[in-house]
Amino acid sequence: MSFVTQRLDRPSSYKDHQYSGDTTQLSNDLQFTTTLYVGNLSFYTTEEQIYELFSKSGEIKRIIMGLDRNRKTPCGFCFVEYYRREDTLDCMRYINGTRLDERIIRTDLDPGFREGRQFGRGRSGGQVRDEYRMEYDAGRGGWGHIRAKQEAERAADIDENYVAISNVPEGATLEGES
């Protein structure tokens, strides 16, 4: 059977670089998995909101929220485990690309959750993708890591090169004085 559009219940081509198996083992794990990776979540999305949306596809076994490695705050992703494989595929078909907290969420099959994967992998403790974001995004916590670094460099430059005048030179007058 051929399809005019791409099937929504197929995993993406993304490969987790920390996955310990080879490509054959990965495709085998993806063939039987009941775990979904959910990305592009707002930092303010709650577990209850995720449960409410994702339970429409089937009975959820557990939800694991992604956390910033350093601050232990939400960092924009989670894992959703279902009891049945069919519910997982239904979720990919019907929920992938929908809007939650004003953000279009992405779902992808995951080979299975292992402890430690709930933490962000970026240098700052959050998501790597957020560190390269240049635009303001209130749903993901404001400015990206690079933009924050640029602002800190600018403030340091101002402190270093633009010193406020602490005394008035002789012969000069302040505004309002005559």
Using pLDDT thresholds of 50, 70 and 90, give the confidence band for residue 87. very high
Q: Which amino acid is at 134?
A: M
- 34-72 pLDDT per residue, tens: 999 898 888 888 999 999 999 999 999 999 998 877 777
Entry pTM: 0.61
Give the phi and the psi of residue 37 in degrees, each rounded to 5: -90, 135
What's the mean pLDDT when you consider all of the chain? Answer: 75
Q: Percent of the chain at pLDDT above 70?
A: 65
Distance CA 35, CA 85 (A): 8
Using pLDDT thresholds of 50, 70 and 90, give the confidence band for residue 7. low
- Among 10, 43, 52, residue whose Cα is nearest residue 129: 43
Q: Which residues contact 83 (CB under 8 A, 6 or more apart)?
A: 34, 58, 59, 60, 61
Choose between 154 and 29: higher pLDDT. 154
Choose between 11 and 59: higher pLDDT. 59
